[in-house]
């Protein structure tokens, strides 16, 4: 069986927690599609093109991982790319309620697609893109939590916007 998983998110920006999850998934599934949501309503710090580029560079070494952008229903994006699994990360119980609701909605919209959850390595369990943005905004060191090129992009972003 050839199984493709789709890993959707805002990735504003991609962190080592996301990369940890993608690495784990790339060992389980034949193909992993990291799908960056345009998420205009969230007014992301990095625009769509920047988030796609940062994600592409972060997973460039993983041969069975591709990065795509989407601005549609997730199940439609999954179908377009032949994915039968939606992959999401669970860090703590606090993630559960929202993820449970999303998994239920996605199941009713796409009954042929299963949502599967992975947990990150323990050093990434407290990591989120929003915490990274906050630390970087105040000049804190995020080098243990994001790839080097993401750290550089954060430094540039806050140097420009203050």
- Cα separation values, 5 from 8, 30, 35, 107, 118, Å: 10, 8, 10, 15, 12
Return the residues of window 59-78 that contact ligand ADP according to CB under 6 A: none
Q: 117: which DSSP letter?
A: E
Least distance to ligand ADP, CB of residue 120, Å: 3
Q: Is 147 in the site for ligand ADP (CB under 6 A)?
A: no
Whether 18 is catalytic: yes
Q: Which residues of 57-80 are buried (b: 16+ CB within 10 A; e: fewer)?
A: bbbeebeebbbbebeeebbebbee
**Contact range with ligand ADP by CB under 6 A, out of 55-63, 67-75, 85-93, 106-114:** 85-93
Whether 27 is catalytic: no
Q: Which two tokens stand for residue 5?
A: 């998983």
Residue 22's closest CA among 89, 85, 83? Answer: 89
157 contact partners, CB below 8 Å, separation of at least 6: 45, 46, 136
Task: Candidates 5, 45, 124, 132: give the one binding ligand ADP (CB under 6 A).
Answer: 124
Q: Is 44 in the site for ligand ADP (CB under 6 A)?
A: no
Task: Candidates 24, 56, 81, 91: give the one binding ligand ADP (CB under 6 A).
Answer: 91
Query: Pick the catalytic residue: 24, 79, 81, 91?
Result: 91
Whether 157 is catalytic: no
Whether 91 is catalytic: yes
Q: Is 56 in the site for ligand ADP (CB under 6 A)?
A: no
Q: Is 106 in the site for ligand ADP (CB under 6 A)?
A: no
- Cα separation values, 67 from 14, 59, 114, 136, 154, Å: 12, 8, 20, 25, 20
Q: Residue numbers of the site for ligand ADP (CB under 6 A)? A: 9-11, 15, 17-18, 21, 88-89, 91, 95, 120, 124, 127-129
Residues with catalytic function: 18, 42, 91, 129
């Amino acid at each position: 069986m050839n199984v493709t998983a789709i890993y959707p998110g805002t990735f504003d920006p991609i962190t080592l927690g996301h990369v940890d999850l993608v690495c784990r998934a790339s060992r389980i599934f034949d193909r992993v599609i990291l799908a960056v949501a345009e998420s205009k309503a969230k007014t992301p710090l990095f625009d769509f093109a920047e988030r796609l580029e940062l994600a592409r560079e972060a997973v460039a070494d993983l041969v069975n991982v591709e990065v795509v952008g989407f601005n549609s229903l997730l199940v439609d994006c999954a179908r377009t790319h032949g994915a039968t699994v939606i992959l999401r990360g669970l860090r703590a119980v606090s993630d559960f309620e929202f993820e449970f609701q999303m998994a239920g909605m996605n199941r009713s919209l796409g009954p042929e697609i299963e949502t599967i959850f992975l947990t990150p390595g323990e050093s990434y369990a407290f990591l989120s893109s929003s915490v990274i943005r906050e630390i970087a905004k105040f000049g804190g060191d995020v080098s243990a939590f994001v790839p080097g090129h993401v750290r550089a992009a954060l430094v540039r972003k806050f140097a420009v916007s203050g």
